[in-house]
Amino acid sequence: MSVDIRLLASRYEREHRYLELLVRSGDILSRALDWHQTIDAVCEAAVETVAEICLLDLFTDDRLCLVASAHRDASRANELKSAAEAAADHRGDHDFATLVARSGEPLLAPEVNDAFFASQSSEQKALMRRMKYKSMMIVPVTSKTQGMLGTLTLALGESGQEPYDDNVLRFAQDLGLRCGAAIAKAQLYQQTLNIATRFQQAALPSRLPKHRGISFDAFYEPSSEELLVGGDWYDAFDLPDGRIAITVGDVLGHGLDGAVWMSRHRNGLRAALFADPDPVRALYIADEIMRADSRDEFTTALVALLDPVRHTLTCATAGHPGPLVWDRSGNVIDPFEERGVPLGLFELGKIAKTAEVIALPPGSFAVFFTDGLLEWNRNIEESWERLKRAIMRQDVREALHPATAVLQSVIDRQTHQDDVAVLTIRYDHW
């Protein structure tokens, strides 16, 4: 029996190209969280291996729309995109991609000729002729969770590659399934991220108080291991008696669960301070609410009242550090050293019976913060020294955004394992 070596070599080369595509696309799809980048990368991988033309259409508001395209000849990429978009805007009932999406069955056209074009719109015909389609496959893009998402089109022109057949169609179908799973995962991640971001924005104050001669600034960043939500918070708001309430806290835990409890504590302290602007009483109310929910965890919190008339700061804490205050003498002081115990643990001890009061002389600068600012490098003593040195720096205190300047002066890397909140108060003049 004779063996056609050239035929075997050709088949081997073709299978190698498809295996290369599956390996490359598998790597792309396994680590993708931005589905736009994912599909662009998959289309590029397809035209570098098994196709000259790759189109990906997804449903948007029940309409199949082109979302990605690629041509092996990069100089023709824009030409392809323009023609494919025109064809997508004029899909007829017999449009090939639409039929595949509706039926869920792939389409294989080993040879594309004029007769094959007959049922297509004039725009679709123009696309196929302009790109010189010679062989084509269209496969469904589906996911187990979201069902039919769209279609993937692979086409050959005049490259001389062997026409598509049933064997390579199976490769394409597998690629469609992989794309569908990755797109669904990435879309779900994006939806979760959007919800989390909106939740965090709603949980933090939309604006800071504005008083002549007093500048407020704040910065918040969740831990690098979580979504854009966390258990730390800062808050500052005007009270009816003219004073300014400030709360800062840290819920045990990160992510959405921590953010939910953070929001409850922050809003609870707001309500308590509006009803009775007493820092100690507000902390006791927050503790009672926490224990009433049978939450077997704890939260550190700080409550302060800034009097812009008397220029005083009244503060009580439940196991929370700070604030640090810089005065015109050049000293950085930690005036509220009696911390008490965290919320949820008041049965083990008490906070101070009365809040402590200090004067804020002209030019004072105060920094409220959560322990993520101190624990980022697991060396609290070093971080305390960095924080004090930062507060002593005039360029930090007078920065356009001093809260950010403080954080950047203390944390010297982009990643950190804990949430961070910083709130600054600067007395510019009286």
pLDDT at res. 371 = 83
pLDDT tens track for 322-351: 899 998 888 898 888 778 888 877 776 666
pLDDT at res. 378 = 73
Q: Of 14-28, 234-248, 257-271, 328-342, which range is least confident?
A: 14-28
Amino acid code (one letter) for 279: P
pLDDT at res. 345 = 78
Amino acid code (one letter) for 50: V
Whole-angstrom distance, CA of residue 226 vs CA of residue 197: 11
Domains and CATH numbers, the chain: 5-194 (3.30.450.40), 205-427 (3.60.40.10)
Q: Which positions ≥6 away from 233 have C-beta within 8 Å? A: 203, 204, 220, 247, 248, 249, 251, 262, 263, 265, 266, 421
pLDDT tens track for 21-38: 666 666 555 565 566 777
Which has more confidence, 176 or 225? 176
Amino acid code (one letter) for 289: I
Instruction: Name the pLDDT band for 257 (thresholds 50, 70, 90).
Output: low
pLDDT at res. 76 = 94
Q: What is the pTM of this model?
A: 0.61
Whole-angstrom distance, CA of residue 117 vs CA of residue 343: 72
Q: Of 1-5, 113-117, 373-377, which range is least confident?
A: 1-5
Coil, helix or strand at residue 419 = coil
Which residues on adjacent β-strands are paired with residue 424?
217, 367
Whole-angstrom distance, CA of residue 219 vs CA of residue 231: 14
For the segment 237-251, the average pLDDT, to the nearest whole number, is 93
pLDDT tens track for 380-419: 788 889 999 999 999 999 999 999 999 999 887 655 556 7
Structure token digits, residue 196: 């989390």
For the segment 198-215, the average pLDDT, to the nearest whole number, is 81
Angle between helices 380-392 and 402-410 (to 10 degrees): 140
Percent of the chain past pLDDT 90, that is, above it, reads 39
Whole-angstrom distance, CA of residue 156 vs CA of residue 5: 24
Structure token digits, residue 254: 């990160």
Q: Is 105 exposed, middle or buried (0-12, 13-18, 19+ CB in 10 A)?
A: exposed
pLDDT at res. 3 = 46
pLDDT tens track for 172-206: 888 888 888 888 877 777 777 677 667 666 667 88
Q: Which positions ≥6 away from 3 have C-beta within 8 Å? A: none
Structure token digits, residue 37: 């980048």
**Given the structure tokens 């050959």, which residue do they identify?**
156
pLDDT at res. 1 = 46
Positions of E strands within 240-388: 244-251, 299-307, 312-318, 324-326, 332-333, 356-359, 365-369
pLDDT at res. 155 = 94
Q: Is 84 exposed, middle or buried (0-12, 13-18, 19+ CB in 10 A)?
A: buried
Q: Which positions ≥6 away from 235 have C-beta within 8 Å? A: 204, 205, 245, 246, 247, 248, 266, 269, 270
Q: Which positions ≥6 away from 54 have C-beta within 8 Å? A: 42, 43, 46, 47, 68, 69, 70, 71, 152, 153, 154, 155
Of 323, 393, 399, 394, the residue nearest 358 (C-alpha): 323
Q: Of 18-27, 117-126, 213-222, 412-421, which range is least confident?
A: 18-27
pLDDT at res. 5 = 56
pLDDT tens track for 43-73: 888 888 788 999 999 998 888 999 999 999 9
Instruction: Name the pLDDT band for 255 (thresholds 50, 70, 90).
Output: low
Q: Of 74-88, 248-262, 294-308, which range is least confident?
A: 248-262
pLDDT tens track for 355-374: 789 988 888 999 999 888 88
200 half-sphere exposure, CB direction, 13 A CA radius: 24
How does DSSP assign 97-157, residue by residue? Answer: HHHHHHH---EEESS--HHHHTTS-HHHHHHHHHTT--EEEEEEEEETTTEEEEEEEEEE-
Whole-angstrom distance, CA of residue 273 vs CA of residue 281: 9
